[in-house]
Homo-oligomer: A and B are copies of this chain.
Amino acid sequence: MRVLILGGDGYLGWPTAMYLSCRGHVVGVLDNFAKRRWEMELNVEPLIPIHTLHDRVKAWREVKGEQIELFVGDLRNYGVVEGVLEKFQPDAIVHYGEQPSAPYSMIDHNRAVFTQVNNVTGTLNVLWAMRKISPECQLVKLGTMGEYGTPNIDIEEGFIEIEHKGRRDVLPFPCQPGSFYHLSKVHDSHNMRLACKIWNLATTDLHQGVVYGIETDETRLDERLETSFHYDEVFGTALNRFCVQAVAGIPLSVYGSGGQRRGFLNIRDTLRCIELAVVNPAKPGEYRVFNQFTETFSITQLAELVVRQAAKLGISATVELLENPRVELEEHYYNPAHTKLLDLGLEPHLLSDELINSVLERIKTYQSRIKRDIVLPHIKWDARAQEMDELKLMWAGA
């Protein structure tokens, strides 16, 4: 199949491109390198040095003999989107091309508005261009488990049957997202549902959990093929950040009580989930949601797993409970369904001591590159003055 990956320069986009390229698909990637600029704004960088996308595509050709077609462009520009669909003629579009960070969206008013306008416009442009150029193409869009929030009932996969006053219907699962970023994904989900209904498009909305892991079979082939592993407060996620903190001798920073439960998955499973969605497409007119994670942990559980595994490597890691910069429940019910991808054949790589061990070992290799001052949270959800203001972090434009 011909698969176009939007956001192909990212933590997941690039490994997905290689993964699908290895498995007989014709792969194109599009990116506008916006995230590289956000990293510059915030003075953060991936732990492992990342080559340019142009150089990675070239390296992939040298290493594997496979061609990944590279497009440079911004999804907010409708002409770009139409153009790439016309040129590449995809059978499937995998859409990672959004501002991906909740803390980034909470820094200030400019970044909140930017995150929503950027993400909503990009996805609307993709939907309208599909309608015109490639209505048979399917869209596989990355959403987030954070769209649901933490309701006091079991979370289903996108829809829930509700019985109310003697009547029944199957309705979209109610969403209570916790940041302007997570809200942007909810907006996308609503927009996709309408586009499927009125234009007969086929879309899969992957409500993904928190991804961890530093490498895939493909990134290991050559140092030029590495993916961007973040550990900072803005782009880093819980387990990845904890591993860096352990290696750097910084207490593992748990926000609040640490009782927050979330769904997690290995980066390798992300790639397989994408493939499963692509090769088992939605039907025309179908908007479907897969909850994409393999197991749930509380943040405290994760921290304890890292502490225990670090000890085996002779690292004495500690945990520090920080005042929670977010506004969220710290103790809550959490039991989301996640059977649809398993039914399609996903065989999870569950979180193991070996995985944590290998991440810790890999981080040690790059220990000297760790920037200690970018790890702890400064971005507050509530209306307290943002400490980030002190950094004179003005809006740099879109």
Pairwise interchain contact B169-A152, C-beta atoms closer than 8 A:
yes
- Please indicate the chain B residues that have their CB under 8 angstroms from the CB of A169 in the complex: 151-153
A152 in contact with B124 given A187-B187, A190-B177, A191-B183 (CB within 8 Å): no
- Please indicate the chain B residues that have their CB under 8 angstroms from the CB of A160 in the complex: 162, 164, 174
The yes or no answer to A167 lying at the interface (CB within 8 A) is yes
The residue from B129, B168, B176 contacting A172, defined by CB atoms under 8 A apart: B176
The residue from B152, B176, B198, B327 contacting A381, defined by CB atoms under 8 A apart: B198
Complex: chain B residue closest to A179, CB-CB: B194
Complex: chain B residue closest to A174, CB-CB: B171
Would you give the 0/1 interface string for A104-129, flagging 1 where the beta carbon is closer than 8 Å to chain B? 00000110110011001100110011
- Please indicate the chain B residues that have their CB under 8 angstroms from the CB of A153 in the complex: 162-165, 167-169, 171
Looking at the assembled complex, report how far the CB atom of A330 sits from the nearest CB atom of chain B, in whole angstroms: 15
Pairwise interchain contact A183-B194, C-beta atoms closer than 8 A:
yes
The yes or no answer to A382 lying at the interface (CB within 8 A) is yes
- Please indicate the chain B residues that have their CB under 8 angstroms from the CB of A167 in the complex: 152-154, 333
Q: A116-B121, A183-B190, A183-B194 provided; 4 other pairs, C-beta below 8 A?
A: A154-B167, A172-B174, A179-B194, A183-B191
Closest 7 CB pairs of A and B: A171-B174, A152-B169, A109-B128, A153-B164, A198-B327, A187-B187, A172-B174
Q: Which of A47-79 contact B (CB under 8 A)?
A: 78
Complex: chain B residue closest to A195, CB-CB: B180
Looking at the assembled complex, report how far the CB atom of A160 sits from the nearest CB atom of chain B, in whole angstroms: 7
The yes or no answer to A80 lying at the interface (CB within 8 A) is no
Complex: chain B residue closest to A156, CB-CB: B164
- Please indicate the chain B residues that have their CB under 8 angstroms from the CB of A168 in the complex: 152-153
A: which residues have CB within 8 A of B? 78, 109-110, 112-113, 116-117, 120-121, 124-125, 128-129, 131, 135, 151-154, 160, 162-165, 167-169, 171-180, 183, 186-187, 190-191, 193-194, 197-200, 327, 333, 381-383
CA distance A152 to B163 in the complex (A): 10
A135 in contact with B177 given A164-B153, A190-B183 (CB within 8 Å): no
Pairwise interchain contact A176-B171, C-beta atoms closer than 8 A:
yes
Pairwise interchain contact B191-A190, C-beta atoms closer than 8 A:
no
CA distance A129 to B113 in the complex (A): 12
Pairwise interchain contact B198-A382, C-beta atoms closer than 8 A:
yes
Pairwise interchain contact B175-A135, C-beta atoms closer than 8 A:
no
Offer 8 A-B interface pairs, CB within 8 angstroms, sorted by A.
Answer: A112-B128, A116-B191, A171-B174, A173-B174, A177-B194, A183-B191, A186-B187, A199-B382
CA distance A171 to B162 in the complex (A): 12
Complex: chain B residue closest to A128, CB-CB: B109
CA distance A33 to B233 in the complex (A): 42
CA distance A187 to B176 in the complex (A): 12
- Please indicate the chain B residues that have their CB under 8 angstroms from the CB of A191 in the complex: 116, 180, 183
Pairwise interchain contact B131-A121, C-beta atoms closer than 8 A:
no
Complex: chain B residue closest to A395, CB-CB: B78
- Please indicate the chain B residues that have their CB under 8 angstroms from the CB of A197 in the complex: 327
A174 in contact with B176 given A113-B121, A117-B120, A190-B183 (CB within 8 Å): no
- Please indicate the chain B residues that have their CB under 8 angstroms from the CB of A112 in the complex: 124, 128
